[in-house]
C-alpha cells in the first residue's frame, strides 16, 4: 500500500503476522517506509534506533491520535477499543501535515 503525504510517497507494510507485529521498526535505521498495525491500540519503541511518528486510526482510517518524533523506550496507548483501532508507524516527521480528524487514504498504487 502507498500513503501520499508531505509531497512524498511512503510504502506501507501491513503487520499481518506475529513476527511483523513483534518487530515492527525495531532496530531499523534510515526508515523510509511505514508499518500499519491493524486491530492495535498500543505500541512501544524499545530497541528503536530512530525516532518515529505514530498515527492512530479508527475503523474508517480517520486520524484519532498523532505523536511526532516519538523517542525510544516509550509506550503509547490509544484509549480506544483495540478491535476498532489501527496504528501506523512512519518515519520521523512524515506525519507533520497530517491532522487529527483527517481520513487517510491508503492506495494500492
pLDDT in tens, 65-96: 999 999 999 999 987 778 889 999 999 999 99
Query: Rounded mean pLDDT of the chain?
Result: 92
The pTM of the whole model exceeds 0.85 = yes
Residue 109 reports pLDDT greater than 70: no
Give the position of cell 500499519: 36
Work out how many domains the chain is built from and give that number: 1
Q: What is the pLDDT of residues 34-53, one digit of tens each?
A: 999 999 999 999 999 999 99
89: Cβ contacts below 8 Å, ≥ 6 apart: 24, 25, 34, 35, 37, 43, 52, 53, 54
Residue-number span of the structural domain to which 45 is assigned: 2-107
CATH code: domain of residue 53: 2.60.120.1140
At 69 the pLDDT is 97
Indicate if the pLDDT at residue 8 is higher than 80: yes
Amino acid at each position: 500500500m502507498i500513503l501520499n503525504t508531505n509531497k512524498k510517497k511512503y510504502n506501507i507494510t501491513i503487520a499481518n503476522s506475529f513476527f511483523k507485529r513483534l518487530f515492527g521498526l525495531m532496530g531499523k535505521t534510515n526508515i523510509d517506509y511505514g508499518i500499519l498495525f491493524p486491530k492495535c491500540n498500543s505500541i512501544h519503541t524499545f530497541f528503536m534506533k530512530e525516532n518515529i511518528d505514530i498515527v492512530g486510526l479508527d475503523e474508517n482510517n480517520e486520524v484519532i491520535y498523532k505523536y511526532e518524533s516519538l523517542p525510544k523506550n516509550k509506550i503509547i496507548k490509544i484509549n480506544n477499543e483495540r478491535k476498532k483501532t489501527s496504528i501506523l508507524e512512519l518515519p520521523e516527521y512524515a506525519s507533520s501535515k497530517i491532522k487529527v480528524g483527517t481520513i487517510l487514504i491508503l492506495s494500492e498504487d
